[in-house]
Amino acid sequence: MQKDTKKAISDTFVALLESKSFDKITVKDIVETCGINRNTFYYYYSDIYDLLEEIFRRELDLVVEQHRAGKSWVEGFLCMATVAYGHKKLIRNIISSRSYDYWLSYMIKSCKYILVDFVTSEAEGMQVPEADIDFIATFYEHAFAGIITDWFRQGMQETPEEYVGQIWLVVGSIRRALERSQQRFLELSEDDPI
């Protein structure tokens, strides 16, 4: 019963986000639409932001799960883009509200899970310091999260396949960054042999 109630609250909130800005949704809207009392809502969530964070965590878990199941970075981004594409109004209602920071944090975390693995696999067999791998992955996490958020803000004019194809155009620069890191590492090693 508890899982059903919690799911009903979450589903109701998502349905409201399809038609209203996040800033205009209240706990009262959720409980009335869901047919529960306020105490029941507060039993599960401290506020609407807590509910939103749980939804983002659940979505992030799906991205991570698919990525760990052997999906490539392309499939990971395509999955994220396809889900968002199917919920254009909901996405617009979140990113155009006070909850934008939550959204951006979710996007960066989603990109991180995909890109850390990708950059690490690209660096395999190379002499690249771990700090450089982390820096390159972090740089692209923020770049990809920003690019994807812009796509959302512009109304997702391109299909997910077209958009991921555009992201693919810059992926080669990750390999070049790793090669530069290796070159710098090797030059420093020659100057300071141990």
Give first-to-last CA distance, the chain, whole Å.
Answer: 65
**pLDDT tier, 135 (very low <50, low <70, confident <90, very high otherwise):** very high
Query: Which ranges of the chain would DSSP assign to H, the alpha helix?
Result: 2-17, 27-34, 38-44, 48-68, 73-85, 88-95, 100-122, 130-153, 160-168, 172-191
pTM attached to this predicted model: 0.73
CB 36 within 8 A of CB 126: no
- Round the average pLDDT of the chain to a whole number and report it: 86
Average pLDDT (14-20) is: 90
**pLDDT tier, 192 (very low <50, low <70, confident <90, very high otherwise):** low
| Res 191: pLDDT | 60
Least confident of 59-68, 126-135, 170-179: 59-68
CA-derived radius of gyration, the chain: 20
| Res 180: pLDDT | 94
| Res 193: pLDDT | 54
All domains in the chain, ordered by first residue: 73-191 (1.10.357.10)
CA distance 173 to 178: 9
